[in-house]
């Protein structure tokens, strides 16, 4: 070996070794002690970093879990009960099994039902549009259709239907992280209990105007007539500000309110179609069946 | 070289079609709906109920805090209901709806039009009476005027600035007021000077109104302490920070008020309303509104009672043109597009602008080409392209550092952007998010 | 009224400047220089320009439609402009296939790989030019001597540019005033009677374009003036110290790509700073690096590299050099 090569090897090795020693001491001196459990917990988490738990990313949640004495209030919506069970085992703490939730869009105001009375030409953002005015229709509470909820979803669980201008939730992908709920300026999306076979019954309306005004703005609005409240055998429905609300925890999916509703504001999703009984309600029922069918076809038909 | 502000600014086409139309009294409407929130601050509380009979000038809603204003009936008749009605904010808001019967005025109001020059009230009494009369900034901001006149301890005011600039294209209500009610306005300015205990007032007027400049310059000989200053035509010359810089070369600090540099700014319309309130006991219930636009048959300036439906004004100006694309409450740079023409005229309605179809659509949108034109026109020295991007990325802390709260929402950036980007849409969204964060920090 | 009212946030009126109009204004500003070049170089100039423009536009369209699956945006004129500027930077006898490769580098690497118009950190035409210079050094440095309009594409006779002659001469140790006798006079260089690329030769034509751009408010004066001033001062100092070994400032301004670079390449919106202070730093940087490369470096021409190096600094300049905000200092009258 020539002296050049020898000299090069020696000098570079010496520099490398020197650097390694310096780095070792620096790393030791400035080492931050971290509870090794944080790493273990982070491994068990789904690594979606969606913020649905309320903490900045999965690492942030792992730190909170390790620090907290009582973790029964902490929950990862993406991982669900399985993940929380694994975390509980690692930490030796207790968790309660929580009911899975799913996002539900509570508006049926497509152009077919809700007339457009002006044209919006501003930036494509619901937040911007709602700050400006009440929207393209006479219902100032309903969906603006500009897709802030779609933008913010990390799980491809919501998309905008071209024809209806309304968002559609893909139940199978939805992790109930709550991002779309926060993004909607009109509070139209709600996290509701996830039932067997993805069945849902809910009031697909958030309009708080008096019945006549609501109905004029949208044909399938809730007019606050109260018939559903009266007919519910489980006291699951309440009425406030001319708007009915079905408590998902009390509702037993008996579908009586769906039949009773005169405008078709209450929707039943993923139920088998039923025989038409009354002549009078044909038109309303057909519309409802259409909407249920459409949602049935759109969402996955896997049974749990 | 004409005086003007030094940073930024744009030159939209002036289009002052109604500059030569004298102010006409608009006939009374059949009903008025008077919103209880026509001003910045706390909405007022109604003090009338269904069935009450009211006269012109009677108080119908009371100020509900320091930053709030009284609201007076603009008509005589019967209160038909107090309900949520669509107004120019785009949403339904609580309003007092009155069915008009006749035109009976409150006895305290002096209805003669003789000029009354003598000011008999003290400075504190003036501020109190302005408060009682429900006077708010008539330039469009609707800030309760008595608040501006209540100078906190430790701040010294040495000049009153009167905004006769009317930098928004198309609008001419201030212009006509300066020509037709000049002396009343000058007395109003003297009243304001007394209220503030200053002996210097400057009226700033853009030089596209040479008749007003000439006329007022002649009159001020009889009004000591008041000066008239001609200004270069540049938008937004009428923004109070820009106006102060142009007239007395002082820059209001970021996050500060004109008080911090020793100045108070009032619109010429407000000065006129102050004259009427102090000298004639007439509270604020009517104002001059311009109705204009390329296709409007009769561009006009109307004296309108608050609460009159916008439709009435459009009818009186020759009806809604066939090719109407947009109807705007205010001017084209900062005004608000209306979605319904039955909304009422409020204290802040300076004009109704009807834009034809070909002007109603926005420019097609491209990528940002980083041409920096928005940076060069921003009068506040901000970087609109950056604020736009930061808002879309939701980086609120960096937004705050880059001065988003200094934005005066003048629209120069979006006006100029060659790529047609909706810069101001997102900057406004960024401002609302940051102001929410700032408010929660204070608590 | 049957139609619906349009509602959107303010402002409701707009200036009629569009991206397309700005791009085409720059193309128009380059037309005097193009005309001169065709007059001096003949068919070569036409072939090179056409090839560069057509291939740039074609590549942009193909990449956008088939690779990126987007709506092609060739109608905004930026690809045409890149093609034109690339043509201005290469010899007029450059083989067609090399120009096409250069266009692919300019559009594909320099522009599309970053996300299209508005997202590229480096000037695409310069990326193309430097790519070609390093890949095909011989063809890219054989500059045709102007022989007039009737010169066919293949007829061009090559010779060194004044800048090349000067560099070689100084390296060999010759005295500068002697070298000056071998090259065209300053006046001739001003009008365009010298060898080089299309963008180098006609100072007068380029300055006419500059005036047009200023009047149409397409660019501001800050970047070109800062570059030219820096080069003048720097080379002036060197020339003052030793006029035997350094060419005078006017020589430096009229040869090579200084005017083309300062007026048309450095002022490219996407790759230049967003504030006036930033533009000055950018211009001074380009001036300094250009002179360093020309005087102390291996290449006779430094403008392309200088601009690309300063392009890399632009994000840093934008992050730290902010425009002065209104109300930053409290002034009392």
Opening angle at CA A113, ends A110 and A116, nearest 5: 70
Residues of B in contact with C6 (CB under 8 A): 325-326, 337, 360-361
State whether A132 and B429 contact (CB < 8 Å).
no
What is the distance between the alpha carbons of residues A187 and A149, in angstroms, rounded to a whole number? 11
Do both B329 and B419 map to the same domain? Answer: no
Residue in C4, C8, C9 closest to A117 by CB: C4
What is the distance between the alpha carbons of residues A93 and A82, in angstroms, rounded to a whole number? 15
Residue C100 lies in a domain: yes
What is the distance between the alpha carbons of residues A143 and A217, in angstroms, rounded to a whole number? 13
Q: Is residue A193 pLDDT above 60, yes or no?
A: yes
The two tokens of residue A146 are 């500009």
Quickly tell me which residue has 């709806």 as its tokens: B97
Residue in B256, B367, B415 closest to C14 by CB: B415
So what's the pLDDT on residue C156?
60
Do both B206 and B233 map to the same domain? Answer: yes
Residue in A119, A123, A132 closest to C6 by CB: A119
Report residue B66: phi and psi, to 5°. Answer: -70, -50
Do both B139 and B275 map to the same domain? Answer: yes
Neighbouring CB atoms inside 10 A of A91's CB total: 17
Model confidence over B3-48: pLDDT tens digits? 999 999 999 999 999 999 999 999 999 999 999 999 999 999 999 9
Give the mean pLDDT of B432-439: 94
Residue B14 lies in a domain: no
Instruction: Enumerate residues 137 to 176 of chain C having a beta carbon within 8 A of any beta carbon in chain B.
Output: none
Reduce the secondary structure of chain B to three states and give it as a string.
Answer: CCECCCCCCECCCCCCCCCCCCEEECCCCCEEEEECCCCCCCCCEECCCCCCEECECCEEEECCCCCCCCEECCCCEEEEEEEEEECCCCCEEEEEEEEECCCCECCCCCCCCCCCCCCCCCHHHHHHHHHHCCCECCCCCCCEHHHHHCCCCCCCCCEEEEECCCCCCCCCHHHHHHHHCHHHHHHHHHHHHHHHCCCCEEEEEECCCHHHHHHHHHHHHHCCCEEEEEECCCECCCCHHHHHHHHHCCCCCCCCCHHHHCEEEEEHHHHHHHHHHHHHCCCCCEEEEEEECCCCCCCEEEEEECCCEHHHHHHHCCCCCCCEEEEEECCCCCCEECCCCCCECCCCCCEEEEEEHHHHCCCCCCCCCCCCHHHHHCCCCCCHHHHHHHHHCCCHHHHHHCCHHHCCCCCHHHHHCCCCCCHHHHHHHHHHHHHHHHHHHHC
Do both C50 and C191 map to the same domain? Answer: no
The two tokens of residue A8 are 């090069």
Give the mean pLDDT of C245-271: 89
- The band of B336, judged by pLDDT with boundaries at 50, 70 and 90, is very high
B330, B353 Cβ separation under 8 angstroms: yes
Q: Which residue has the higher pLDDT, B373 or A54?
A: B373
Distance of CA B56 to the CA centre of its chain: 23
Question: What is the least distance, in Å, from the CA of B219 to any CA of chain A?
Answer: 43
CATH (domain of B231): 3.40.50.11540
Q: Which of A277-286, B338-347, C247-256 has the lowest mean pLDDT?
A: A277-286
Do both B101 and B198 map to the same domain? Answer: no
State whether B361 and C10 contact (CB < 8 Å).
no
Residue of B nearest to A127 (CA): B429
Residues of A in contact with C7 (CB under 8 A): 118-122, 132-133, 136
Tell which of B359, B388, B410 closes a domain.
B359
Residue C35 lies in a domain: yes
Do both C130 and C207 map to the same domain? Answer: no
Q: Is residue C193 pLDDT above 70, yes or no?
A: no
What is the distance between the alpha carbons of residues C213 and B421, in angstroms, rounded to a whole number? 23
Question: What is the least distance, in Å, from the CA of B367 to any CA of chain C?
Answer: 6
Query: What does the mean pLDDT of chain C come to?
Result: 88
- The band of A285, judged by pLDDT with boundaries at 50, 70 and 90, is low
Q: Is C264 helix (H, G, I), strand (E, B) or coil?
A: helix
Q: Is residue C129 pLDDT above 80, yes or no?
A: yes
DSSP C105: I
So what's the pLDDT on residue A240?
94
Q: How many domains is chain C partitioned into structurally? A: 2
Question: For the purposes of burial, counting CB atoms within 10 Å of the CB of B185, is it exposed (0-12), middle (13-18) or buried (19 or more)?
Answer: buried
State whether C13 and B428 contact (CB < 8 Å).
no
Do both C211 and C314 map to the same domain? Answer: yes
What percent of the residues of chain C are helix, what percent strand, and what percent coil, each to the nearest 5? 65, 0, 35
Do both B396 and B418 map to the same domain? Answer: yes
Do both B89 and B28 map to the same domain? Answer: yes
Residue B417 lies in a domain: yes
Residues of A in contact with B81 (CB under 8 A): none
Residues of A in contact with C5 (CB under 8 A): 118-119
What is the distance between the alpha carbons of residues A148 and A132, in angstroms, rounded to a whole number? 15
Closest of B401, B404, B400, B409 to residue B241, by C-alpha: B409
Quickly tell me which residue has 């399985």 as its tokens: A82
Residue of C nearest to B408 (CA): C326
Closest of C87, C56, C83 to residue C198, by C-alpha: C87
Model confidence over C88-117: pLDDT tens digits? 988 888 899 999 999 999 999 999 999 888
Query: What are the start-end ranges of the H helices in A30-79?
Result: 36-44, 57-67
Residues of A in contact with C4 (CB under 8 A): 116-119
C192, C38 Cβ separation under 8 angstroms: no
DSSP C145: P
Q: Is residue A284 pLDDT above 80, yes or no?
A: no
So what's the pLDDT on residue B154?
85
Reduce the secondary structure of B124-157 to three states and give it as a string.
Answer: HHHHHHHHHCCCECCCCCCCEHHHHHCCCCCCCC
Residue B15 lies in a domain: no
Residues of C in contact with A136 (CB under 8 A): 7
CATH (domain of B73): 3.10.20.600
Structural domain containing residue B291? 24-109+284-359
- The band of A276, judged by pLDDT with boundaries at 50, 70 and 90, is low
Q: Is C267 helix (H, G, I), strand (E, B) or coil?
A: coil
Instruction: Enumerate residues 240 to 269 of chain C having a beta carbon within 8 A of any beta carbon in chain B.
Output: 269
Do both B264 and B301 map to the same domain? Answer: no
Closest of B144, B113, B131 to residue B25, by C-alpha: B113
So what's the pLDDT on residue C329?
59
Q: Is residue B210 pLDDT above 80, yes or no?
A: yes
So what's the pLDDT on residue B311?
95
Do both C101 and C172 map to the same domain? Answer: no
Tell which of B280, B309, B329 closes a domain.
B280
Residue C38 lies in a domain: yes
DSSP C75: G
For chain A, the first-to-last Cα distance in angstroms comes to 72
- The band of C2, judged by pLDDT with boundaries at 50, 70 and 90, is low
Residue of C nearest to B254 (CA): C327
- The band of C157, judged by pLDDT with boundaries at 50, 70 and 90, is low
Question: What is the least distance, in Å, from the CA of A229 to any CA of chain B?
Answer: 27
Residue B98 lies in a domain: yes
State whether B91 and A117 contact (CB < 8 Å).
no
Do both B210 and B263 map to the same domain? Answer: yes
Q: Is residue C33 pLDDT above 80, yes or no?
A: yes
Residue B368 lies in a domain: no
Residues of C in contact with B411 (CB under 8 A): 10-11
Give the mean pLDDT of B389-417: 95
Model confidence over C158-179: pLDDT tens digits? 777 777 788 788 888 777 787 7
State whether B91 and A123 contact (CB < 8 Å).
no
Model confidence over A8-58: pLDDT tens digits? 999 999 999 999 999 999 999 988 888 888 888 888 898 888 888 888 889
- Give the dihedral sign, CA C109/C112/C114/C120: positive
In DSSP terms, B302 is beta-bridged to B24, B289
So what's the pLDDT on residue A96?
83
Residue in B90, B92, B339 closest to A117 by CB: B339
Do both B355 and B321 map to the same domain? Answer: yes
Contacts A–C by Cβ distance under 8 A = 26
Angle, helix C19-41 to helix C203-215, in steps of 10 degrees:
160
Domains of chain A: 36-91 (1.10.15), 101-298 (no CATH)
Which stretches of chain A sit within 8 Å of chain B by CB? Answer: 117-118, 121-123, 125, 127-128, 131-134, 140
Do both C179 and C291 map to the same domain? Answer: yes
Q: Is residue A278 pLDDT above 70, yes or no?
A: no
Model confidence over A41-100: pLDDT tens digits? 888 898 888 888 888 889 999 988 888 888 888 888 888 888 888 888 888 888 888 888
Give the mean pLDDT of B362-381: 93
- Which of C1, C4, C9 has the most A C-beta neighbours within 10 Å, making it the best mutation to test the interface with A? C9
What is the distance between the alpha carbons of residues A251 and A267, in angstroms, rounded to a whole number? 13
Residue C118 lies in a domain: yes
Do both C187 and C248 map to the same domain? Answer: yes
Do both C129 and C191 map to the same domain? Answer: no
Tell which of B280, B296, B328 closes a domain.
B280
Quickly tell me which residue has 């997102």 as its tokens: B426
Do both C125 and C272 map to the same domain? Answer: no
Task: Tell me which chains share at least 3 CB pairs under 8 Å with chain A.
Answer: B, C
Residues of C in contact with A116 (CB under 8 A): 4
Q: Is A190 helix (H, G, I), strand (E, B) or coil?
A: strand
State whether C14 and B326 contact (CB < 8 Å).
no
Residue in A118, A128, A132 closest to C5 by CB: A118
Do both C178 and C316 map to the same domain? Answer: yes
Structural domain containing residue C123? 19-140
What is the H or E stretch that residue A90 is in?
Answer: helix A80-91
So what's the pLDDT on residue A205?
95
Residues of B in contact with C275 (CB under 8 A): 372, 375, 383
Distance of CA A135 to the CA centre of its chain: 23
Q: Would an 8 Å CB–CB cutoff place C70 in contact with chain B?
A: no
- The band of C189, judged by pLDDT with boundaries at 50, 70 and 90, is confident
Residues of B in contact with A128 (CB under 8 A): 422, 425-426, 428-429
A215, A248 Cβ separation under 8 angstroms: no
Do both B142 and B93 map to the same domain? Answer: no
| CA count, 13 A, side-chain hemisphere, A222 | 30
Q: Is A28 helix (H, G, I), strand (E, B) or coil?
A: helix
Report residue B385: phi and psi, to 5°. Answer: -60, -35
What is the distance between the alpha carbons of residues B373 and B420, in angstroms, rounded to a whole number? 12
Residue B19 lies in a domain: no
Residue of A nearest to C4 (CA): A118
What is the distance between the alpha carbons of residues B300 and B306, in angstroms, rounded to a whole number? 17
What is the H or E stretch that residue C254 is in?
Answer: helix C249-254
Do both B340 and B253 map to the same domain? Answer: no
Give the mean pLDDT of A244-268: 93
- The band of B407, judged by pLDDT with boundaries at 50, 70 and 90, is very high
State whether C7 and A123 contact (CB < 8 Å).
no
Question: What is the least distance, in Å, from the CA of B12 to any CA of chain C?
Answer: 7
Q: Would an 8 Å CB–CB cutoff place C2 in contact with chain A?
A: no
Q: Would an 8 Å CB–CB cutoff place C298 in contact with chain A?
A: no
State whether B429 and A121 contact (CB < 8 Å).
no
Task: Tell me which chains share at least 3 CB pairs under 8 Å with chain B.
Answer: A, C
Q: Would an 8 Å CB–CB cutoff place C76 in contact with chain B?
A: yes
What is the H or E stretch that residue A201 is in?
Answer: strand A200-203
Q: Is residue A304 pLDDT above 50, yes or no?
A: no
Model confidence over A107-144: pLDDT tens digits? 999 999 999 999 999 999 999 999 999 999 999 999 99
Q: Is residue A279 pLDDT above 70, yes or no?
A: no
Q: Would an 8 Å CB–CB cutoff place B27 in contact with chain C?
A: no
State whether A117 and C9 contact (CB < 8 Å).
no
Residues of C in contact with B380 (CB under 8 A): 325-327
Strand boundaries in chain C, DSSP class E: 5-7
Do both B297 and B333 map to the same domain? Answer: yes
Q: Would an 8 Å CB–CB cutoff place C10 in contact with chain A?
A: no
Do both C178 and C83 map to the same domain? Answer: no
Model confidence over B298-326: pLDDT tens digits? 999 999 999 999 999 999 999 999 999 99
Residue C333 lies in a domain: no
Q: Is residue A289 pLDDT above 90, yes or no?
A: no
Report residue B154: phi and psi, to 5°. Answer: 95, -15
The two tokens of residue A138 are 């006479």
A64, A55 Cβ separation under 8 angstroms: yes
- 0.80 cut: is pTM over it? yes
What is the H or E stretch that residue C138 is in?
Answer: helix C137-140
Question: For the purposes of burial, counting CB atoms within 10 Å of the CB of B84, is it exposed (0-12), middle (13-18) or buried (19 or more)?
Answer: middle
State whether A116 and C6 contact (CB < 8 Å).
no
C107, C60 Cβ separation under 8 angstroms: yes
Q: Is C330 helix (H, G, I), strand (E, B) or coil?
A: coil
- Give the dihedral sign, CA C268/C273/C276/C280: negative
Residue C293 lies in a domain: yes
So what's the pLDDT on residue A282?
55
Q: How many domains is chain B partitioned into structurally? A: 3
Residue C14 lies in a domain: no
What is the distance between the alpha carbons of residues C56 and C102, in angstroms, rounded to a whole number? 9
Question: What is the least distance, in Å, from the CA of A125 to any CA of chain C?
Answer: 12
């Amino acid at each position: 070996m020539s002296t050049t090569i020898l000299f090069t090897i020696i000098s570079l090795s010496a520099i490398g070794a020197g650097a390694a020693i310096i780095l070792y001491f620096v790393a030791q001196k400035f080492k931050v002690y971290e509870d090794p459990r944080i790493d273990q917990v982070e491994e068990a988490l789904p690594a979606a970093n969606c913020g649905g738990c309320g903490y900045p990313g999965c690492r942030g949640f792992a730190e909170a879990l390790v620090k907290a004495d009582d973790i029964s209030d902490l929950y990862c919506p993406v991982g669900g009960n399985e993940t929380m069970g694994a975390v509980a085992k690692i930490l030796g703490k207790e968790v309660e099994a929580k009911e899975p939730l799913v996002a539900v869009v509570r508006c049926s105001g497509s152009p077919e039902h809700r007339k457009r009375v002006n044209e919006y030409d501003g930036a494509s953002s619901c937040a911007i549009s709602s700050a400006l005015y009440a929207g393209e229709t006479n219902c100032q509470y309903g969906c603006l259709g500009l897709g802030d909820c779609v933008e913010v979803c990390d799980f491809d669980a919501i998309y905008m239907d071209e024809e209806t201008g309304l968002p559609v939730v893909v139940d199978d992908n939805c992790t109930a992280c709550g991002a779309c709920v926060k993004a909607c300026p009109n509070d139209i999306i709600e996290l509701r209990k996830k039932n067997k076979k993805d069945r849902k019954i809910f009031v697909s309306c958030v309009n708080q105007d008096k019945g006549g005004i609501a109905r004029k703005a949208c044909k399938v609005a809730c007019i606050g007539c109260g018939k559903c409240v009266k007919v519910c055998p489980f006291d699951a429905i309440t009425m406030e500000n001319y708007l009915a609300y079905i408590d998902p925890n009390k509702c037993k999916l008996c579908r009586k309110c769906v039949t009773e509703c005169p405008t078709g504001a209450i929707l039943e999703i993923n139920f088998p179609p039923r025989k038409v009984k009354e002549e009078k309600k044909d038109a309303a029922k057909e519309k409802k069946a259409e909407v249920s069918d459409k949602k049935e076809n759109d969402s996955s038909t896997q049974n749990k | 070289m004409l005086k003007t502000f030094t940073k930024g600014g744009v030159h939209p086409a002036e289009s002052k079609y109604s500059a030569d139309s004298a102010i006409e009294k608009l006939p009374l409407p059949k009903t008025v709906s008077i919103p209880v929130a026509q001003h910045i601050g706390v909405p007022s509380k109604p003090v009338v109920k269904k069935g009450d009979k009211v006269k012109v000038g009677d108080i119908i809603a009371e100020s509900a805090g320091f930053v709030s204003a009284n609201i007076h009936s603009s008509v005589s008749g019967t209160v038909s209901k107090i309900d949520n009605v669509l107004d120019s904010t785009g949403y339904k808001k609580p309003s007092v709806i009155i069915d008009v019967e006749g035109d009976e005025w409150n006895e305290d109001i002096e209805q003669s039009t003789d000029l009354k020059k003598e000011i008999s009230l003290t400075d504190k009494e003036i501020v109190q009476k302005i408060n009682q009369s429900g006077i708010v900034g008539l330039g469009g901001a609707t800030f309760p005027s008595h608040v501006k006149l209540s100078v906190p301890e430790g701040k010294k005011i040495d000049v009153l600035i009167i905004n006769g600039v009317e930098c928004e294209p198309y609008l001419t209500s201030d212009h006509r007021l300066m020509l037709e009610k000049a002396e009343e306005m000058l007395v109003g300015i003297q009243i304001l000077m007394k209220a503030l205990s200053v002996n210097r007032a400057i009226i700033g007027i853009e030089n596209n109104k040479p008749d007003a400049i000439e006329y007022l310059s002649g009159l001020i000989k009889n009004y000591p302490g008041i000066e008239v200053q001609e200004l270069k035509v540049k938008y937004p010359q009428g923004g109070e920070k820009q106006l102060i810089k142009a007239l007395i070369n002082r820059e209001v600090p970021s996050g500060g008020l004109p008080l911090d540099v020793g100045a108070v700014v009032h619109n010429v319309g407000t000065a006129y309303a102050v004259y009427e309130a102090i000298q004639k006991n007439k509270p604020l219930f009517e104002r001059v509104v311009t109705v204009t636009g390329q296709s409007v048959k009769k561009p006009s300036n109307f004296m309108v009672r608050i609460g009159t439906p916008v439709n009435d004004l459009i009818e009186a100006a020759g009806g809604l043109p066939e090719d109407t694309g947009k109807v705007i409450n205010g001017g084209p740079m900062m005004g608000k597009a209306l979605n319904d023409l039955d909304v009422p005229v409020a204290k802040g309605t300076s004009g109704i602008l009807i834009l034809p179809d070909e002007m109603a659509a926005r420019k097609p949108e491209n990528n940002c080409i980083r041409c920096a034109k928005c940076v060069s026109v921003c009068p506040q020295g901000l970087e609109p392209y950056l604020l736009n991007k930061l808002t879309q990325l939701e980086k609120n802390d960096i937004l705050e550092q880059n001065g988003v709260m200094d934005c005066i929402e003048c629209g120069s950036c979006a006006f100029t952007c060659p790529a047609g980007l909706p810069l101001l849409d997102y900057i406004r969204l960024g401002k609302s998010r940051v102001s929410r964060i700032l408010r929660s920090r204070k608590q | 009224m049957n139609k619906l009212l349009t509602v959107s946030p303010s402002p409701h009126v707009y200036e009629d400047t569009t991206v397309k109009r700005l791009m085409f204004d720059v193309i128009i500003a380059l037309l005097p220089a193009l005309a001169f070049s065709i007059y001096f170089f003949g068919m070569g100039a036409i072939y090179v320009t056409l090839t560069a423009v057509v291939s740039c536009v074609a590549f942009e369209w193909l990449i956008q439609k088939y690779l990126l699956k987007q709506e092609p945006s060739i109608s905004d004129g930026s690809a045409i402009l890149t093609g034109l500027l690339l043509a201005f930077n290469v010899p007029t006898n450059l083989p067609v296939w090399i120009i096409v490769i250069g266009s692919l580098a300019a559009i594909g690497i320099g522009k599309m790989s970053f996300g299209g118009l508005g997202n590229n950190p480096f000037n695409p035409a310069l990326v193309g030019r430097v790519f070609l210079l390093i890949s095909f050094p011989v063809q890219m440095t054989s500059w045709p001597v102007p022989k007039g309009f009737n010169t066919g594409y293949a007829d061009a006779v090559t010779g060194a540019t004044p800048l090349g002659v000067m560099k070689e001469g100084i390296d060999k140790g010759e005295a500068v005033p002697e070298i000056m006798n071998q090259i065209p006079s300053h006046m001739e260089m001003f009008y365009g009677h010298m060898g080089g690329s299309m963008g180098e030769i006609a100072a007068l034509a380029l300055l006419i374009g500059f005036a047009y751009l200023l009047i149409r408010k397409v660019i501001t004066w800050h970047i070109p003036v800062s570059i030219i001033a820096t080069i003048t001062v720097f080379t002036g100092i060197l020339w003052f110290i030793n006029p035997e070994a350094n060419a005078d400032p006017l020589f430096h301004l009229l040869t090579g790509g200084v005017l083309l670079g300062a007026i048309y390449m450095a002022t490219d919106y996407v790759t230049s700073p967003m504030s006036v202070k930033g533009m000055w730093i950018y211009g001074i940087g380009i001036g300094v690096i250009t002179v360093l490369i020309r005087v102390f470096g291996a290449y006779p021409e430094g403008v392309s590299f200088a601009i690309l190096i300063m392009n890399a600094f632009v994000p840093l300049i934008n992050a730290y050099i902010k425009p002065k905000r209104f109300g930053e200092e409290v002034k009392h009258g």
